[in-house]
Structure 1
């Protein structure tokens, strides 16, 4: 009986894991996303490593054949451009490490003092900024070279083995680059789009929480403090979005796949870059808006501000509709979405004007820096300037 209970309890978990695995593979096979990129990277790395091992071990009969497959996998970067850049840095780092060992080894011999000097010099060279992330490979190569140097029985064998390390690294890098370029070279067009969607999604969620509270006059210190904290945390999303745009641009460099892309707009990211900059400014302005609300927190100050808050809620509600479209940005549907954004931007402009007219009608102190009304009106105008600019850029981008 107990065994039966355990089995029944285990079955849903196993079934759930199988379902999740199936969904993962479905996403990998059905769309260009993280899952597919992961499968391609693993497959290409395996292929490159196997070819490199075959050449270094079976054809060259090298003493340290693992250098070739290790190098092939190491420079299998997310873009062809990065593969080329990192391979040059890696070869330079390994060459420097081997050169340090060769110079000091033949000068002072294979003793402990030599190893100390090799470590000291290699670690110093590894700090060179030009080598970037490959700086640590100077020390790694120097240590492997020292081990090879100590185990060799003659000067000729020492020179041969040290030179072979450089040769294997060159072979591995060449194979890695060749595989990366020839087998589905990575083309990350969608990473720029994904960054914009992520920012717009965060903005939509924040604005969608603010405007219902303003409409209900439910603005207290706890709630405005939460809005302010959430707006401040978007800085990390901005950094990620910039990185995605940079990766998308890099993926075009030296990539043969871009020659076969039929979509005219996909070879240019100026439009997405401009939209991203506009969204960054919008997020900063929303952060300023939340700070103003947090400092005020709906306290009574002798003015009848209820209708103003309601108008402002209408404005933010229209802004939320714009962010909803941006959060679902799809290059394949950009023409329809840009037309929709243009219409929503016009509606938001009308809401903003009505809000400003309401503030003037109520006689609110817009010029008083100690009260939030003027700041809120100004931020609304700035928000619409940037949203209007983003919509115009996307419409232009979609038309070309």
Structure 2
């Protein structure tokens, strides 16, 4: 029995390693084949290595600086994902290292015991690391203090050399990130926006297909609702990507005035997607409640379900056209025409819902919810397309 479990564990590990190697090989192929996230990551890794090498070459090999090891260490961590972040984090890191170094030097010169000096300085340095102005770089206050207290005799010249090396390394890291293929993320922003829109489109089509074919079982309706709830995560990713793109253009020499800053259209797209996600979740929740096995009220008749399915299909197409129109002005007229047809479909749906009302409280609640969600989605798309 134990041998069998061991073999199963080994097979799982081997399978996991194979999957990881396959994923790594796929990432490498994509990095070589076309621009994308994988190529950006590879470029940043090579730039970080270049920054460390240059910092050591100048500080250690050429200048023989006493604390040369600090320069490549700071340089490699400051090749950040954006030029602006490199500069901001560089200033924060230098502030943290300087504060920790100065504090450790002062205490070390007074207390001639490393153990006692650590006991005094480290709590202060760690508390300083939580200062909001130092951000994520606050931990380097404690690191700077440790370098002082654990590296032989404490002296002012030695500490000054470490701070100077840190300043030099930060300059090299920031310069390499700003001058050598500074990162831009507009491509990723557009891809994430389109992915979120396509997911909204696919959810609406899946629900429409289910309504048209009469598949109203609770399991499938539950799957639609789960996808609709996850759509909010896609919208959050798109919002984060827009912010990331704007930051990547700040201080970026690759922009050269020809790459526009993501404007209001991106913010409008996020707002539309966010609004759509809320109401798609509402639609799928209503469908799930209607499909529940313990529901006593009858379901909408097939004709009404098909009309609602047509409305969902038109909504899905309008969302997709809206996303395309952000990057292709030629699609704007097509979007306006589609939204006009969507309004006509909504009017037909409203009439059928009015005729289908039986007076049953559950029916009134279901039809009212479906109509309210349809009205809100249409109004928002009309306003966005206008």
- TM (normalized to structure 1)? 0.83
365 and 169 in structure 1: CA distance in 2 versus 1, 3 angstrom threshold: farther
- Residue 297 of structure 2: aligned partner: 301
Q: Which moved more, 1:158-167 or 1:105-114?
A: 105-114
- Residue 353 of structure 1: aligned partner: 347
Is the CA contact (8 Å cut-off) linking 1:278 and 1:389 kept in structure 2? no
- After superposition, give the CA deviation of every residue in 1:343-384 in whole Å (9 maximum; x if it has no partner): 332222222221112112334559978621111111111112
- Residue 9 of structure 1: aligned partner: none
Deviation at 1:274, TM superposition (A): 1.0
Deviation at 1:31, TM superposition (A): 3.8
- Residue 183 of structure 1: aligned partner: 180
Q: Please list every run of 5 or more consecutive structure 2 residues that lacks an aligned counterpart in the other structure.
A: 1-17
46 and 339 in structure 1: CA distance in 2 versus 1, 3 angstrom threshold: farther
Deviation at 1:260, TM superposition (A): 4.3
Q: Please list every run of 5 or more consecutive structure 1 residues that lacks an aligned counterpart in the other structure.
A: 1-13, 393-400
Deviation at 1:212, TM superposition (A): 1.0
- Residue 238 of structure 1: aligned partner: 235
Is the CA contact (8 Å cut-off) linking 1:195 and 1:242 kept in structure 2? no
315 and 170 in structure 1: CA distance in 2 versus 1, 3 angstrom threshold: same
Deviation at 1:326, TM superposition (A): 5.7
Matched, 1:276 2:273: no
Alignment of 1:105-120 (within 5 A): 105-120=108-123
**CA distance in 2: counterparts of 1:330 and 1:163, whole angstroms:** 57
Aligned-partner SS, 2:67: coil
Deviation at 1:183, TM superposition (A): 1.4
Among 142, 150, 167, the residue aligned to 1:147: 150
- After superposition, give the CA deviation of every residue in 1:147-201 in whole Å (9 maximum; x if it has no partner): 23xx13xx6xx21111111111111111111111111211222233223112112
**CA distance in 2: counterparts of 1:272 and 1:388, whole angstroms:** 17
**CA distance in 2: counterparts of 1:387 and 1:363, whole angstroms:** 27
Deviation at 1:221, TM superposition (A): 2.1
Deviation at 1:115, TM superposition (A): 1.1
Matched, 1:253 2:250: yes
Deviation at 1:57, TM superposition (A): 0.3
- Residue 14 of structure 2: aligned partner: none
Is the CA contact (8 Å cut-off) linking 1:193 and 1:330 kept in structure 2? no
Is the CA contact (8 Å cut-off) linking 2:114 and 2:149 kept in structure 1? no
Aligned-partner SS, 1:281: helix
- After superposition, give the CA deviation of every residue in 1:288-347 in whole Å (9 maximum; x if it has no partner): 1112222222756357633211100011111222344467x486x512333433333222
Q: Give the count of matched residue pairs.
A: 365
Is the CA contact (8 Å cut-off) linking 1:249 and 1:269 kept in structure 2? no
Aligned-partner SS, 1:289: helix
**CA distance in 1: counterparts of 2:238 and 2:366, whole angstroms:** 31
Is the CA contact (8 Å cut-off) linking 2:71 and 2:169 kept in structure 1? yes
- Residue 15 of structure 2: aligned partner: none
**CA distance in 2: counterparts of 1:283 and 1:366, whole angstroms:** 29
- After superposition, give the CA deviation of every residue in 1:24-45 in whole Å (9 maximum; x if it has no partner): 5564355431122122212221
**CA distance in 2: counterparts of 1:28 and 1:324, whole angstroms:** 28
**CA distance in 1: counterparts of 2:190 and 2:23, whole angstroms:** 29
252 and 73 in structure 1: CA distance in 2 versus 1, 3 angstrom threshold: same
365 and 249 in structure 1: CA distance in 2 versus 1, 3 angstrom threshold: farther
**CA-based RMSD:** 2.7
66 and 190 in structure 1: CA distance in 2 versus 1, 3 angstrom threshold: same
- Residue 11 of structure 2: aligned partner: none
- Residue 310 of structure 2: aligned partner: 314
- Residue 167 of structure 2: aligned partner: 170
**CA distance in 2: counterparts of 1:289 and 1:370, whole angstroms:** 15
